[in-house]
Amino acid sequence: MGALSTPTILILCGLLLGAVMGATARAARFCTFGAVEDLVLAGKSLRIKSWALAIAVAMICVQMMHHAGIARVEEVFYLQSQFGVIGAISGGLLFGLGMSMVGTCGYGVLIRMAGGDLKSFVNFLVLGLSGYMTARGLTSLFKVNLIDSMILDLSAIGGQGIPHVISGFTGLPIAMLWLPTGLAVAGGLMVYCFNDGAFRRSSRDIIAGISIGIAVAAGFFITGTYGADPFDPIRVQSLTYVLPLGDTIVWLIAFTGSAMTFSIAVVVGTIGGAAIVAVMRDEIRWEAFDDVQDMRRHLLGAAAMGAGGVTALGCTVGQGISGVSTLAMSPIIALASIFIGAVYGLHWLMTGSASEAWHMLIGRESE
């Protein structure tokens, strides 16, 4: 590795981690929206527990790195003092609603696209462009001038991590709180998962959760370690699937004038890993939109996911696993908002009524 440049190492590692993510999702049917759909509509919890296990594994690994002082975990943007609670809520709700309209998240879009789903290819383009516009283009004006103006400054307690809050109330040193808090939260998630006999017997879901959790933690380790170049430092980050889709589109368009980054490599690797599994299982199927209404729903949903994901600073993987593993509060709020938006969207699609969907969401019978 010493003979390779830092950008090359990051790209190769991004491709590898992406391939693991793509192959795992395709082989184990690991899908966040699918997990929510199973839980809400069928009362089945295997996939939601696989997702919870991924969070627990990533959290244990990340907090062990944080405790050991490696990989610059304390520098992740999730733990910054600027607490965008409004963006986390509004963006999360919008992303969740869009996810229900598309039938999967940004991560799932890539997995489906790798299997020949042309709808997902269109969703990839719309989601990527919508996210890029919200981060750096025309619609970023709304985000910057409205959403970003309502940010809470938590610099008085040092940041937005749960240990920062605990330290503020108890006076305990923050440094000694990271690992115990992480182990406590991760332990609770693991009890939730393995208390279910059906989950204990589902090796597929267990392996998927462990694999994805390790991949997320490895993302922080790689960018935090190999990205610590004193001449060209790279921001500590891990896996996410909203803005990187837009970056990938721009990279493809301006290939000769732009360079591949870690996040773009993850996107490419994810598609590649999922495609390999799809070919090996003979699962390549060309699929298109059923009708105009189907296409309209997917286009609106993909646009909502792109705008919502960037506003919330991440998706079900970027905030839901990568962000939550750092013990930051914003990802937890964003994740809860995504879940609420997705459940509401499911009810709306089933009933065709926004008001009835609201009554179902809050557990009341419509009049």
- What are the sequence ranges of the domains in the chain? 6-361
Q: What is the pLDDT of residue 87?
A: 94
Distance CA 92, CA 334 (A): 5
Residues 6+ apart with CB under 8 A from 113: 120, 121, 123, 124, 271
Q: What is the pLDDT of residue 367?
A: 47
Residues 6+ apart with CB under 8 A from 56: 185, 186, 187, 189, 190, 193, 209, 213
> Which ranges constitute the DSSP H helices of 69-196?
85-102, 106-113, 118-136, 140-142, 162-170, 178-194
Residues 6+ apart with CB under 8 A from 247: 128, 132, 261, 263, 264, 267
Per 3-state DSSP, the chain is made up of helix, strand and coil in percentages (nearest 5) of 70, 0, 25
Cα dihedral sign for 97, 98, 102, 105? negative
Q: What is the pLDDT of residue 5?
A: 84
Single out the residue of 236, 261, 244 nearest to residue 328, CA to CA: 236
Q: Does residue 36 contact residue 343 with C-beta atoms inside 8 Å? A: yes
Q: Scan for tokens 């059906």, then name that residue.
A: 198
CA 306 to the chain's CA centroid: 12
Q: Does residue 114 contact residue 275 with C-beta atoms inside 8 Å? A: yes
Q: What is the pLDDT of residue 296?
A: 95
222 phi, psi to nearest 5 deg:
-65, -50
Quick one: which H or E segment has residue 152?
A: strand 152-153
Single out the residue of 118, 60, 139, 182 nearest to residue 303, CA to CA: 139
The DSSP 8-state label assigned to residue 158 in this structure reads T
Say what the pTM is. 0.94
Residues 6+ apart with CB under 8 A from 205: 28, 46, 47, 49, 50, 53, 199
Distance CA 63, CA 46 (A): 26
Q: What is the pLDDT of residue 144?
A: 83
Distance CA 186, CA 64 (A): 12
Q: What is the pLDDT of residue 2?
A: 56
How deeply is 136 buried, as exposed, middle or buried, from its count of CB atoms within 10 A (0-12, 13-18, 19+)? middle
All residue ranges of the chain with pLDDT < 50 are: 366-367
Distance CA 120, CA 127 (A): 10
Identity of the amino acid at 139: T
Q: Which residues of 148-181 are buried (b: 16+ CB within 10 A; e: fewer)?
A: eeeeeebeebbbbbbbbbbbeeeeeebeebbbeb
Strand partners, 328: 161
